[in-house]
């Protein structure tokens, strides 16, 4: 009997140890599960906070964009109302302002353009000779740099905001800065090709700024056809890399002109108060005219200018 009790006790002890070990393992598993659930809950809480912060930030940005859009729409509505009143006062012909004070906005723009006009006068009057010196380079790029200053002054803090108009201003400012660099390169004949390719980048920035809406394909076909006809007279006299560089530059230049003219060319631009919409088209035409003039004066070498 004693032997049986001893044997049963020995058999019961391993079973109790096993049960104790299993209970300990279950406890550890439960603790691990609780820790995992707590970590998941904490991560979910952090994700919810991050999502709420992002949604709040997006809501603030959307509100700012809405305010900018409303301000722009109000400004355009005011301009259209003023133009309508001007047409009603004189239905036969629009009444043009006699002084700059008649248009405060035009007056402000002209004041911001004063550095540009001064730089142009200095370039054509003080430094008329094309001498490859650093002083001449500085005087030559001053008009374009003053236009960069005009964009910064005219747009102000909006350059750092998202939106189409701000992207347009940033791309135009960058294109003007690259134009100044390309103008500086063209002072030295050895850097002609480099300056030409920098101007290609400039025109690509202008094209990106102008966009492709409205498309106006008929205008593009006409410009491409006329430019191809003009380049056909230049190609036989070209040599070396100019055989490819000149047609490439001409194609990009004509594309820039196409988008500049097609962007805002409308009869509404002839109404007082909307004259500034003609500026991209006029600037593109002047750019092409400058390149055409240099082509006629220098023969087969195409010298782009800003």
Helix, strand, coil share (%) of the chain residues, nearest 5: 85, 0, 15
Mean pLDDT of all residues in 199-226: 92
Q: Which of these ranges, 36-40, 42-46, 211-215, 265-269, has the smallest mean pLDDT?
A: 265-269
The whole-number pLDDT of residue 129 equals 59
Please tell me the pTM assigned to this model: 0.63
Say whether pLDDT at 230 is over 60.
yes
- pLDDT digit string, tens, across residues 110-147: 888 899 998 998 888 876 556 678 888 898 999 999 99
Q: How confident is the model at residue 65 (pLDDT cuts 50, 70, 90)?
A: confident
Phi, psi (rounded to 5 degrees) for 92:
-75, -40
Mean pLDDT of all residues in 226-241: 88
The whole-number pLDDT of residue 219 equals 92
Say whether pLDDT at 229 is over 70.
yes
Q: Which of these ranges, 14-28, 62-76, 244-258, 260-274, has the smallest mean pLDDT?
A: 260-274
Residue 124 or residue 181, greater confidence:
181
Interior angle at CA 94, CA 91 and CA 99, nearest 5 = 145
Q: Which of these ranges, 38-47, 136-145, 149-158, 248-257, has the smallest mean pLDDT?
A: 149-158
Contact 200, 208 (CB under 8 A): no
Per domain, the residue ranges of the chain are 17-86, 105-266+280-288
Residue 256 or residue 234, greater confidence:
256
Percentage, residues of the chain above pLDDT 90: 24
The whole-number pLDDT of residue 201 equals 95
Contact 257, 210 (CB under 8 A): no
Contact 191, 185 (CB under 8 A): yes
How distant is the alpha carbon of residue 117 from its chain centre? Answer: 25
The whole-number pLDDT of residue 178 equals 95
| Average per-residue pLDDT for the chain | 80
Please write down the long-range contacts of 234-241, taking CB distance under 8 Å and 24 or more positions apart: 234/295, 234/300, 234/302, 237/299, 237/300, 238/300, 239/300, 241/193
Mean pLDDT of all residues in 193-220: 92
* Mean pLDDT comparison of 11-25, 54-68, 82-96, 198-212, highest-scoring range: 198-212
């Amino acid at each position: 009997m004693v032997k049986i009790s001893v044997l049963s006790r020995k058999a019961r002890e391993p079973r109790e140890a096993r049960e104790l070990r299993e209970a300990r393992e279950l406890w550890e598993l439960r603790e691990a599960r609780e820790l995992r659930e707590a970590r998941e809950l904490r991560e979910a809480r952090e994700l919810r906070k991050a999502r709420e912060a992002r949604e709040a930030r997006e809501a603030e940005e959307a509100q700012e964009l809405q305010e900018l859009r409303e301000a722009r729409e109000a400004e355009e509505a005011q301009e259209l109302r003023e133009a309508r009143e001007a047409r009603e006062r004189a239905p036969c012909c629009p009444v043009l302002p006699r002084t700059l004070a008649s248009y405060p906005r035009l007056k402000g723009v002209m004041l911001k353009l004063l550095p540009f006009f001064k730089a142009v006068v200095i370039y054509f009057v003080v430094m008329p000779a094309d001498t490859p010196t650093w002083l001449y380079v500085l005087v030559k790029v001053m008009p374009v740099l003053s236009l960069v200053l005009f964009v910064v002054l005219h747009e102000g803090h909006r350059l750092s905001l998202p939106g189409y108009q701000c992207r347009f201003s940033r791309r135009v400012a960058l294109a003007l800065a690259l134009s100044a660099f390309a103008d500086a390169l063209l002072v030295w004949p050895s850097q002609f090709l480099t300056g030409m390719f920098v101007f290609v980048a400039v025109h690509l920035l202008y094209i990106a700024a102008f966009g492709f809406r409205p498309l106006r394909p008929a205008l593009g076909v006409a410009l491409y056809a006329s430019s191809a006809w003009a380049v056909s007279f230049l190609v036989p006299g070209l040599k070396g890399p100019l055989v490819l560089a000149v047609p490439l530059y001409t194609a990009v230049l004509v594309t820039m002109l196409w988008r500049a003219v097609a962007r805002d060319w409308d009869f509404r631009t002839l109404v007082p108060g909307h004259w500034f919409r003609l500026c991209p088209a006029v600037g593109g035409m002047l750019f092409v005219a400058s390149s055409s003039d240099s082509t006629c004066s220098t023969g087969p070498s195409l010298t782009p200018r800003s």
